[in-house]
Amino acid sequence: MTPRPHNPGENRVASNETKTLNDTKPLKVALLGFGTVGSAVARILSDEPERLPLRLTHVFNRNVERKRVQWTDPSVIWTSNVDEVLASDADIIVELVGGIDPAHDWVRQALQAGKSVVTANKKLIAAHGPELSRLAQEHGATLAFGASVAGGVPVIDALQEGLAGDKLYRVSGILNGTCNFILTKLENEGLDFATALKQAQEAGFAEADPTDDVDGYDARAKLVILARIGLKAIVQPEQVPCGSIRELDAVDFIYAHELGCTIRQISRAERTNQHVLASVRPALVPMDSPTAHITGSLNLVLSSGKYGGQTAFSGHGAGGHSTAVAVVSDLLDVARGGSYSDPRSQVEAEVLPVSANFADKYYLRFTVRDRPGIVAAIATALAAHGINIDALLQKPGFGKEALPFVVTLEECTAEKLESAMADIRKLDFLVGEPLTMPILTREL
């Protein structure tokens, strides 16, 4: 056999590569953050030392003494000094502090030092994923973030490896369990939004400030990550418009049921050769669609491929234990030199223009001070933009000073509808902001 030519740079790269299970000693793991997820990760690593080729060596947290527990190995170093952790001999840094700053700087430092990083930080990966993936590649490290989308549902690994042979053109689904919990309460118990939100907060699903969840920003960060991994398209979070669920009411579910639908917060991104369509907003979905049967705090991710068709992934998307399992699974993937250790799948993506100009049927709910000519005025404004009304629905029993009714539209683009709504919002009989939602009759 002819010997392979020697490359002088090989020894340098090999010395800086991530340690794997081929090494004799367990990989050393340092945790940044010891909250709900961090403590659950530490528990798994501490309970399974013989099964897992991983050893917890450091725990960082502000005011760490109030976080210290007795069930970790006595050798674990507890510290409030992040520099001590970043300068340590840990092989893998697990970032669980959340947010962008200072997490972005800490992850950069770890990767530049040749340490691999595992993170569940969707905001960080959505905003800086391509940059950090390239940095990992340059320094022979690994960046793993499977826990950043859908918690315990291994969708990132599935898109990256299990569906690598397909050419995906769409990813969509229900990416925020808090919204789904609230919408289920509105639908099943007839609650108003404020009451349903309070119950979600009491159950631990919603934060004291629920903005990221109910206004779509949390789901948007996850969709951006899915677009990069599944569609090979680099999308910035601010490019994706979000719609809030705050204006929804139980009456909308009554009307939706009459149309054979229910309402879910839908995230969707679709790639063509030239651009990406993407949005996060509440939408009507048919009762026979997979999304209609996702209730409570469950998540659902749907991928559509040119050759393999549609694939669904469902499960609990949040919670300390399910996310911790995803984090430990990423640690094992790094240790085994798995999919995340191949940087090509992380950096092979294109920057494409993004719009939300989907063509859909639409549901419009108006609340008005009743008087003659209201429907005619709305129809005239829609017709001026080339939009046709499909149906009109009005339930009895509401007062004339705040009368809700629904207009459904034939298919039109989001751009056309927004132009028409700008005119309609000027009409003086409106009580409050009209509610607009797409009716997703075609495959998500």
Catalytic positions are: 222
In whole angstroms, give the CA distance from residue 224 to residue 216: 12
In whole angstroms, give the CA distance from residue 220 to residue 121: 13
> In 3D, which of 241, 444, 229 has the Cα closest to residue 354?
241
Q: Rounded to the nearest 5 degrees, what angle is found at the Cα of 164, between the Cα atoms of 334 and 110?
A: 25
- Residue 366 burial (C-beta neighbours within 10 Å; 0-12, 13-18, 19+): buried
Instruction: Reply yes or no: is the peptide bond before residue 102 cis, omega within 30 of 0.
Output: yes
- Residue 77 burial (C-beta neighbours within 10 Å; 0-12, 13-18, 19+): middle
Q: Hey, is 259 helix, strand or coil?
A: coil
In whole angstroms, give the CA distance from residue 307 to residue 303: 12
Long-range contact pairs involving 71-74 (C-beta distance under 8 Å, separation at least 24): 71/43, 71/46, 72/42, 72/46, 73/46, 73/49
**Residue 438 near residue 267 (C-beta atoms within 8 A):** no
> In 3D, which of 277, 263, 272, 301 has the Cα closest to residue 415?
277
